[in-house]
A and B are shown apart, each in its own frame.
Chain A
């Protein structure tokens, strides 16, 4: 059987392509510049975590991570709070209005991030929330709603109506049906939305830079990290250490949600 061998080889090759940059990132975070440039792929001669200490202290990464967690966590909670009922309603809607609302959500994909920057800035200034984390907590769910609603709506459409009807006959309210029938079945879809939105919110740079601003007590990790890059003489070991530090929460979230996300992908494939 040659095909499985070839596909196995390709899969391992692809995995290596993904692992090598990560390996380079991690080992470089333990080296000095000279070593990074002269022996890029070799293991560090000493296992010194000084670069991590330097990155965390000079870029004030601890409050930056805390701010990112606050903004991302609250924005995620708000996204789910709004997207789940919206998707439930749209998945059950049969009329023209429902289709129109769903199409309106889809239109959100057409707005380029950069184009919305200036109106968003004006809104932040008008509401008095410029240079606050609060504005971003409200803004990020708005940017994620199209994706979250579309994914969850498709998921909820796969749930047989008979389940809902049976629950109704047992006296369940609409909210009860959503909570006890739809939500448990939609967990893979919710996990997918959580992961995608988490990545988008965590990595957001432009709005965090402009709206939250330069206060080290408020800025997010994506704004703090570039302060480790200099015009000349960047210490790449320290920069890599800072990057690894910012990636840790991403891995943690992926570890928690990956099983559900895989389920969501596989269930889609089987139902094909």
Chain B
């Protein structure tokens, strides 16, 4: 009868186990030592991690700060799950001193729930009032007048047109809906997809919202997206009908309702589609070959629209620098680090090396990310009309159902009335 496990196997396993136990115990491996939460250490919890644009820059500037000041900074990181991890840490009183995270969903409740402290009182004394876009301060301020966090990155959401593919199809960059429909026909006849979009996820939701905003003023849009009363807004109804017309005219790629933002980006990058509505961080991921044949513009103007120029979603929303209750007790450590984050040196590094749009005032424009630079120039010019990013208005519980509703809207055969029904149901059932 053979031994069930050979002596060598058992010895190897035992040796490995002993070695691993000693790893954490004897401190032989520095990398596995927990970040210190001591009084002299600043703990920063951020979404700049993994493969996120700017993660490398963030690591570098934190290291630079450590070297320059000799101070201890511990970095913690999460992706989209950061809010839930931060909130449970708050309950245990072990949250990081600073959180660098998006303002959406759960984080919107942080200031009111005292999970983080309002930061308006630090703006002047820390010299940040002159460093941050006034519009950003306004957008990040609660209705009660409290600044939730220091606004750090922002969102610019233009439309990318592959002018080579459009030229080959015999059309120019469309500026109106009629031109867009003609361009879609011409592109399809050449075997190229027209507008690529992730109809099944948030990217489709954003484009849908952008299209119907062509028929809404900013105030009307804010009211409609906060309440979900689409059917009582003539502008929203006109926008939804127009969306259905565009869809039925074949403006979007086939099966758009099943695609995601990743498939949208791939279709554009591979030249399978000639147009995409894309946030600037995605524009930074367009390869050089495709970027060279791309022109950045706005979404074409529909007939009888409120907007008179092509539209671009613009928002000061993005990642912010939030200070926790623990951080409020270590302001002597928090202040110099936040000032470092907003320094010209760091902002320049972010703009040049990561292609990020920043809320800090700077004259530096992206060079290695030409499409991001084009988008910034477009936003600063007067050839497009800005429309709102309604993430702050849409109730958190509605966000996901609304994306499912807009996915249905991208599906062929869904009538404007059915679209309104599913949109309103997503608000009522949430």
Contact = CB atoms under 8 A, between A and B. Distances in A.
Interface in A66-125: 66-67, 69-70, 73-74, 77, 121, 124-125
Contacts of B9: 256
B50 A74 contact: no
17 contacts: A33-B269, A37-B267, A66-B20, A66-B29, A70-B23, A74-B21, A209-B85, A214-B85, A217-B33, A227-B51, A229-B79, A230-B79, A232-B261, A232-B282, A233-B262, A238-B51, A260-B5
Which range contains the number of A residues in contact with the other chain? 35 or more
Interface in A228-253: 228-236, 238
Give the interface centre of A63, A130, A227 by most chain B CB atoms within 10 Å.
Answer: A227
Contacts of A217: 31-35
A37 B50 contact: no
A213 interface: yes
Given A227-B78, A232-B281, A215 B20 contact: no
Contacts of A232: 203, 261-262, 265, 278-279, 281-282, 285
B321 to A, nearest CB: 17
B76 A215 contact: yes
A182 interface: no
Contact of B281 (A33, A34, A54, A233): A233
Nearest to A34: B270
A231 B281 CA distance: 10
A4 interface: no
Interface in B27-79: 29, 31-35, 45, 49-52, 55-56, 74-79
A184 interface: yes
Contacts of A210: 84-85, 88
A44 interface: no
A62 B23 CA distance: 13
Contact of A214 (B21, B45, B261, B269): B45
Interface residues of B, number: 56
A216 B75 contact: yes
B305 interface: no
Interface string B397-421: 0000000000000000000000000
A226 B81 contact: yes
Give the interface centre of A133, A230, A236 by most chain B CB atoms within 10 Å.
Answer: A230
A52 to B, nearest CB: 14
Nearest to B285: A233
Contacts of A54: 51
B281 A131 contact: no
A155 to B, nearest CB: 13
Given A66-B23, A125-B93, A217-B33, 18 more contacts: A37-B266, A37-B267, A60-B31, A70-B21, A70-B32, A121-B88, A121-B92, A132-B34, A209-B81, A209-B84, A210-B85, A213-B85, A228-B51, A229-B50, A229-B79, A233-B265, A236-B262, A260-B5
A228 B261 CA distance: 16
Interface string A177-199: 00000001001100100000000
B77 A131 contact: no
A58 interface: yes
A59 B202 CA distance: 25
Give the interface centre of B85, B202, B270 by most chain A CB atoms within 10 Å.
Answer: B85
Contacts of B16: 73
Given A210-B85, A214-B82, A230 B34 contact: no
Interface in B202-216: 202-203
Interface in B279-325: 279, 281-282, 284-285
Contact of B76 (A121, A188, A213, A234): A213
Interface string B348-371: 000000000000000000000000
B26 interface: no
A73 B35 contact: no
B34 A218 contact: yes
Contacts of B24: 70, 133
Contact of A231 (B81, B82, B93, B261): B261
Contacts of B4: 184, 187-188, 191, 260
Give the interface centre of B9, B23, B81, B88 by most chain A CB atoms within 10 Å.
Answer: B88
Contacts of A184: 4
Contact of B77 (A63, A66, A69, A214): A214
A62 B82 contact: no
Contacts of A45: none
A214 B76 contact: yes
A232 B102 CA distance: 14
B380 interface: no
B165 to A, nearest CB: 16
A219 to B, nearest CB: 9
Contacts of B266: 33-34, 37
